[in-house]
A and B are shown apart, each in its own frame.
Chain A
Amino acid sequence: MNQFVFKSTAKTFLISFMILGILCMGLTWFSDDAIHSRFWTNLLHNSVFFTGISLMATFFIAVCITAYAGWHTQFKRVWEAFGSFIYVGIGLMVFIGIATYLHMNHLYHWTDEADVAKDAILKGKAGFLNKNWYLFGTIIIGGTWAFFYNRLRALSKAEDDNGAGVNFAMHRKMRVYAAIFLPIVGFTSAAMVWLWIMSLDAHWYSTMFAWYTGASWFVTMIALTILILLYLKGNGYYDNVSQEHIHDIGKFLFAFSIFWTYLWFSQFMLIWYANIGEETIYFRERYDKYPILFFGNLMINFLIPFFVLLRNDTKRKFGSVGFVAGVVLIGHWLDFFLMIKPGALHTAHAALGHEDHGHAEEAAHGAHEGAHGVADAVAHGAHGASEFVSGFTLPGFLEIGTFLGFLALFLFVTLNSLSKASLVPKNDPYLGESLNHHV
């Protein structure tokens, strides 16, 4: 079967999960604080997560074309299908951008002009961290990504129709687009990560953050690829995608999980070693208030893939690779949760007139231990701010429901796109190599 049929039962299934997601988001909105920080962080969290996955899929297609790689050619339509989410993802990010522009949300501390005016650090960053850059940067850069995706996809489909024999014209054109896209995506993805995620902790910065986030996206993309391929194979498609291909994707899952850990650790160790207060506060917050996620993140995203996929044969067995892919998918979603929630929660607390919690705690622990600091810390303890709060320090049911809704939306767009073209790109010059792939 070379044509994927998006069955109506699958559609109903996914749509019902999307409805669940919408319901959860509605419930979040109405059970939220005055500035709806839980709703907006959840929306940002999932939008960024899935937009990044689709960007990484397009990026990896471009990498494979530029590297003259052929092992993946049979199922490159899966990555093209992931890439098609870029339109939806950028739409969501532009929506968040408009809301930020119009001050409808309070995700980012730097949108508060009164605060920026009296804050030397934020003033220094205002050239980049401002609502114009956020909205128009998202539109222009996201639009660029969508344009390159659109060209690569159109050429790939055109190759199916007109690329028979030795007509490599379309492939050569794809090579040009791919080579141009690579440096663009390298720099712009970093810029978007700074704007979308890192600026949630507006005072803090790390030069490794963009890479770290990118690695997280990439691992998730590989994990989803494995899960989708197993699903399609289970439904009788992709008979020629064999253990050999799964082995190679399993290696990517293994290798990039280690790469992610390398970046995580390098970022941590540099900050830990330099021990500068402005930098360590990022980890202090997460270490003190999010211990389960902080250590669980490393367990799930490093120890499980590392030890399960260390052996040769576990990378070849669908069961073990699929298990790790599922675990890592959830693990990296939690990783993004940990990147996004603490900073946004901090901003929300400040905006809602609470005493800045981090400072209160520092004061309580510091040499100037005054009645004020202690009282504040106690008051916050009573509020539950330093305890586990569903939806903030740990994902609650509403977060899980929202995630499932977004995942269903992502899969809906993916499967819809898969059904629009033949599953195997029949005229790709590398198809033969892929069919005879042997590790």
Chain B
Amino acid sequence: MRTASHKNLDVVYGLYDDEEIMLDAVRQANKEHLDIMDVYSPFPVHGLDPLLGLEESRLHVAGFVFGAMGTLTAFLGMTWIFTKDWPIIFGGKPYWSVPAFIPITFELTVLFAAIGMVVTFYTICGLGPGVTNPYLDDRITDDKFCIAFDKSNVDVSAVESFFASTGASEVNQKTI
């Protein structure tokens, strides 16, 4: 998630064939106090976030805020329309018929929360149409698990011996 803001970064990275081996390697790196820049995997790996010291995502806060906006939009919107703007009697019910508003309020809550969270997520990650993100290796979107180090933060020889000792199948360097 941090790569989007980095430019011309010298990276040394190792590829692993299995997520369990990669998890052990992360534990080993923590033990050796090697400063991991980031870890890439084709799918979410259980237990990786706490090892990397990542905080829980705050995306759901955005979800709640957008959802509440949807609730208010729908409820206040219908209230205004059916009591002030264009009052119509439906089925002999009062103008302000709360039970009838609830399904639509619910739908707009879900819609706002869903769209709002997608937009928030894309914005934070710097994703979207027309955006190119630097990547280290094609195969980390397929079947490889990658641990990457920023060369300016670590001693490259120490990292290479670390990769060799933890079972990395490949070690490469790249500037992204």
A101 CB within 8 Å of chain B = no
Q: Which of B64, B93, B99, B100 has the most CB of A within 10 A?
A: B99
Asked if A269 contacts B99 (CB within 8 A), the reply is yes
Cα distance A269–B91 when bound, in Å? 13
Q: Do B99 and A438 touch across chains, with their CB atoms under 8 A apart? A: no
Assembly CA distance A310 to B60 (angstroms): 10
User: Does the CB pair B102–A275 fall under 8 Å?
Assistant: no
**Which residues of chain A are near B100, meaning CB under 8 Å?**
269, 273
Establish whether residues B91 and A312, one from each chain, have CB atoms under 8 Å apart when the complex forms. Answer: no
Q: Counting CB contacts under 8 A, is B46 at the interface? A: yes
- Rounded to whole Å, the gap between the CB of B65 and the closest CB of chain A is 13
Interface residues of B in 54-89 (CB under 8 A from A): 56, 60, 64
Q: How large is the interface on B (under 10, 10 to 19, 20 to 34, 35 or more residues)?
A: 10 to 19
Complex CA gap A312/B64 in Å reads 12
Q: Are B91 and A268 in contact (CB under 8 A)?
A: no
Query: Which residue of B has the minimal Cβ distance to A311?
Result: B60
CA distance A275 to B92 in the complex (A): 9
Q: How far is the CB of A306 from chain B (nearest CB, A)?
A: 12
Distance to closest chain B CB from A259 (angstroms)? 13
Q: Interface code A261-288, partner B: CB below 8 Å = 1, 0 otherwise?
A: 0000100110011010000000000000
B-side contacts of A311, CB under 8 Å:
60
Partner of A265, one of B56, B92, B102: B102
Q: Are B60 and A275 in contact (CB under 8 A)?
A: no
**Cβ-defined partner of B102 (8 Å) among A269, A310, A312, A438:** A269
Q: Which residue of A lies closest to B100 (CB)?
A: A273
Whether the pair A438, B92 counts as a contact (CB closer than 8 A) is no
Considering only residues 216-274 of chain A, those with a C-beta below 8 Å from chain B are 265, 268-269, 272-273
* CB atoms of A312 and B99 under 8 A apart: no
- Shortest distance in angstroms between B104's beta carbon and chain A's nearest beta carbon? 12
Whether A438 contacts B47 in the complex (CB less than 8 A), given A265-B102, A269-B99, A272-B99, comes out as yes
- How many A-B residue pairs have C-beta atoms within 8 angstroms? Tell me: 20
Chain A contacts with B in 310-332, Cβ cutoff 8 A? 310-312
In the complex the two chains form, what is the Cα distance from A273 to B90 in whole Å?
10
CB B67 to nearest CB in A, in angstroms, measures 10
How distant is the Cα of A273 from the Cα of B99 in the complex, in angstroms?
Answer: 9
> Which residues of A sit under 8 angstroms from B103, Cβ to Cβ?
269
Give A273 to B100 CA distance when docked, in angstroms: 8
CB distance from A206 to the nearest CB of B (A): 16
* Cβ contact within 8 Å between A312 and B92: no
In whole angstroms, how far apart are the Cα atoms of A273 and B102 in the complex? 13
What CA separation (Å) do A275 and B97 show in the bound complex? 13
* A269 CB to nearest chain B CB (Å): 5
CA distance A369 to B97 in the complex (A): 28
List the B residue with the shortest CB-CB distance to A270: B99
By beta carbon, the residue of chain A nearest B67 is A310
How long is the Cα–Cα vector from A438 to B49 in the complex, in angstroms? 13
Chain A minimum-CB-distance residue to B56: A312
Distance between Cα atoms of A438 and B92 in the complex (Å): 53
Interface residue ranges of B96-118 to A (CB < 8 Å): 99-100, 102-103
A275 pairs with B91, CB closer than 8 A: yes
Task: Give the CA-CA distance A310 to B91 in the complex, in Å.
Answer: 36
Given known A269-B100, A269-B102, contact A312–B47 (CB-CB < 8 A): no
Partner of A268 from B64, B92, B99 at Cβ < 8 Å: B99
Tell me how far the C-beta of A434 lies from the nearest C-beta in chain B, rounded to whole angstroms.
15
The answer to whether A312 and B46 touch across the interface, beta carbons within 8 angstroms, is no
CB contacts (< 8 Å) of B46 on chain A: these are 438
Q: Is the CB–CB distance between A310 and B56 below 8 Å?
A: no
Q: Nearest Cβ in chain B — how far from A267, in angstroms?
A: 11
**A269: which B residues are within 8 A, CB to CB?**
99-100, 102-103
Query: How far is the CB of A62 from the nearest CB of chain B, in Å?
Result: 28
Task: Considering the complex, give the chain B residue whose CB is closest to the CB of A436.
Answer: B46
CA distance A268 to B47 in the complex (A): 45
Q: CB-defined interface of A298-318 with B at 8 Å, one 1/0 digit per residue?
A: 000000000000111000000
Which B7-58 residues have C-beta < 8 A from chain A?
46-47, 56
Distance (Å) between the CB of A71 and the closest chain B CB? 13
Smallest CB separation, B121 vs chain A (Å): 17
Report Cα–Cα, A275/B64, bound state, in Å: 35
Report the Cα distance A265→B47, complex, angstroms. Answer: 40
Contact of B64 with A273 in the complex, beta carbons under 8 Å: no
With both beta carbons as reference points, the residue of chain A lying nearest to B57 in the complex is identified as A312
Whole-angstrom distance between the alpha carbons of A331 and B171 in the complex? 60
Which residue in chain B gives the minimum CB-CB distance to A272?
A: B99
Question: Is B99 in contact with A310, judged by CB distance below 8 angstroms?
Answer: no
9 tightest Cβ-Cβ pairs between the two chains A and B: A438-B46, A269-B99, A272-B99, A265-B102, A273-B91, A438-B47, A312-B60, A268-B99, A275-B91
Give A residues with C-beta under 8 Å from B: 265, 268-269, 272-273, 275, 310-312, 438
* CB-defined A-B contacts under 8 Å, sample of 5: A265-B99, A265-B102, A268-B99, A273-B93, A273-B99
**Chain B residues engaging chain A, CB cutoff 8 angstroms:** 46-47, 56, 60, 64, 91-93, 99-100, 102-103
Given contacts A310-B64, A438-B47, list 8 more A-B pairs with CB under 8 A. Answer: A269-B102, A269-B103, A272-B99, A273-B93, A273-B99, A275-B91, A312-B60, A438-B46
